Chains A and B, each alone.
Chain A
Amino acid sequence: MTPLFRKLLVANRGEIAVRVFRTCRELGIGTVAVYSEADRAARHVREADQAVAIGPAGALRSYLSIEALLRAARETGAEAIHPGYGFLSQSGDFADAVRDAGLVFVGPPGDVHRLMGDKQAARRRMAAAGVPVLPGYDGDDQQDARLRAEAERVGWPVLLKPSRGGGGKGMRVVRSGAQLDSALAASRREAKAAFGSETLLLERFVERSRHVEVQVVADAHGTVLHLGERECSIQRRHQKVVEETPSPALDPERRLGLCEAGVKAARAAGYRSAGTVEFLMAPDSRFYFLEMNTRLQVEHPVTEAVTGLDLVRLQLEVAAGRPLTLRQNEVESRGHAIECRLYAEDPDNDDLPSPGRVLHLSEPEGPGIRVDSGLSAGSEVTVHYDPLLSKIVTWGADRPEATARMQEALRRTVVLGVVTNLARLRAIVEHPAFAAGELHTGFIEEHLQQLSPQTCPPPEAIAALVAAIGLGHNARGRRKVPDPWASLGPWRLGGGT
């Protein structure tokens, strides 16, 4: 069979570029990586057949430059462009520009991106289609006084959301009228900086809510399927940290209702390709449309783990114009899968991003463990991009087995040189409330606010470390200073080695 495409360019970096290349290799599709100056030595560059430099470290002139990306595609003869997630993945302008250049964009058409990227318009469209939405305000009048009046009408607390954008940037919970002015200013500032638009949406903030989402896939021939749901309730700063499928909160009847609402939303959006419809689930189990992500989701591997499907492959088939051969009743879910996102950030220090150089790396492996990583030893983690380093995914016959595997996988994940959230991930999946499936979006604040006291290694570890360095089993790393071991006194080691 001829490949779906001869050659595909991934307009992205890090783990997602590496992941898309994997499927391409399997399908006999040639691969092109692009990279900024900061990513010259990055892992995704090495894992492609070809790599093209597209600009400086700042994303605006590299990974966000439509012109540079199209030039790279032309130079290499790529037929299709996969946008990954983040960057231009939800840009209608990019999707249109790719099509206008005579290439295939792996994702929905530009107008679908524009509709769903405008949270106001998306909310109105969904409400009209009968998909449930939260009490809120999605109007055009953005004056402070109007927003204040609408917030009073909806009732405190409310959540401010930039109408353009995602990833939690610019979102603020406002608990009372006194906080509204400063929250409006901060949200608008962040929204303007990140998305170029100050327009805000206001919705009731539901305490102890869950985040559940439906994976859909649609072709150009009218077929829309759902591939089950994912629960992504464990978040910090509105960004997901731990995701799983199936959701421990749903019984079969509610699951069906949710997934059918997802399909309805995708149809109302005129969707094509793989996409995700996000819902908020209130403590009373009612769910409300949040937004639709018109791209592959970071957490897509958990769906792949339980369904056995390759979502990138489905995206490529749809992009090539093929009809989905899969039927809804053939989509089966087996067992349970969990994903943990490893971030370069410091949970003991307000989650501050923590750039640096990865000096040493060891990723877990074993039955039921998958690691999607863009890292390698020596990788530079820079301030220019998202702090996501890698994703650890475990599968088990049931939730306890998947959880046990995750606990073990995290214990065997080693990243030295940059501060990561690994200790927090462990604390989450080892927490009794996680085992009980009692998840909500305030989980981290509720259960893990108490910072673990800074501990020091036990004496035998200190002794072993000093011995290992002294014996010259040294790990790679910058040696800017002369080796202090040369000046060790009578205890000096290594005479015989």
Chain B
Amino acid sequence: MRLRCGEQLFEVQVREAKGGLEALVNGQALSLSLEPVRDGVCVARHAGGLATFHFARDGATVHLFWEGVSYRLVEAREGARKATRHDAGALEAPMPGRVSAVRVAVGQRVRKGDELLVVEAMKMENALRAPRDGVVRAVHVSAGEMVAPGRALVEIDAAGAGA
């Protein structure tokens, strides 16, 4: 199984072995054993000690709570490598909401952190900012429009590339 955590990819293999489980994580061998506690909760015994952890799955997304920290991992499946669908200059709607203002136009030069547009959700105005320096290549929404998470809003060419 391959799990993606941000930029990092984990190649994981697990098998049953005497007294527990053996795992290979990116080539590193580990022994552990597992006891289920309840739905979504297990205790793991490993070389470092004992850890109660929580987990949940939502499609390809796997949520993990380990030693006080929550992680969100995505299963990387063959044929699903669409990581380049949106490049680093694309701004996507991070949540559902209503676009209350669009502050940029195509061709405009922006700096990383500039306010591109404002999305209203949960009664708050949320400024969405440029992920990098560059030139606005496309604006896909207009004020008043409702947007769903993941919807492409604005695309920015790297500085210089489009000018």
Contact = CB atoms under 8 A, between A and B. Distances in A.
B87 interface: no
A464 B56 contact: no
B13 A352 contact: no
Contact of B69 (A352, A423, A469): A423
Interface residues of B, number: 65
A25 to B, nearest CB: 27
A417 B55 contact: no
B122 interface: yes
Contacts of A475: 39-40, 54-57
B130 to A, nearest CB: 13
Given A362-B54, A417-B56, A474-B57, A353 B122 contact: yes
Contacts, number: 205
Contact of B42 (A423, A464, A481, A491): A464
A495 to B, nearest CB: 7
B59 interface: yes
Contact of A464 (B1, B6, B44, B96): B44
Nearest to B35: A473
B64 A491 contact: no
Given A359-B58, A462-B25, A481-B59, A493 B46 contact: no
A327 interface: no
A353 B121 contact: yes
Interface in B29-66: 30, 32, 34, 36, 39-42, 44, 46-48, 51, 53-60, 62-66
A99 interface: no
Given A474-B57, A481-B60, A484-B75, A416 B30 contact: no
A478 B127 CA distance: 31
Contacts of B14: 463, 466-467, 470, 491, 493
A462 B95 CA distance: 28
Interface in A446-497: 454-471, 473-481, 484, 488, 491, 493, 495-496
A477 B58 contact: yes
A387 B60 CA distance: 25
Given A467-B23, A474-B57, A456 B94 contact: no
Contacts of A461: 44, 51, 53, 64, 66-67, 71
A469 to B, nearest CB: 7
A416 B23 contact: no
B155 to A, nearest CB: 19
Given A460-B48, A464-B46, A491-B13, A353 B75 contact: no
Contact of B71 (A359, A384, A456, A491): A456
A349 B93 CA distance: 12
A355 B149 CA distance: 10
Contacts of B65: 360, 362, 414, 416
A354 interface: yes
Nearest to B123: A194
Interface in B54-112: 54-60, 62-73, 75, 77, 94-97, 100
Contacts of B95: 352-355, 383
B161 interface: no
A254 interface: no
A33 B77 CA distance: 45
Contacts of A478: 58-59
A202 interface: no
A415 B70 contact: yes
Highest count of chain B CB atoms <10 Å: which of A346, A350, A491: A491
A357 B14 CA distance: 29
A462 B10 contact: yes
13 contacts: A237-B124, A352-B94, A353-B97, A362-B65, A454-B6, A456-B6, A457-B73, A460-B48, A465-B53, A467-B14, A467-B21, A480-B59, A493-B15
Query: Ordered nearest first, which 4 A-B pairs have the shortest CB separation?
Result: A475-B40, A463-B23, A359-B56, A464-B44
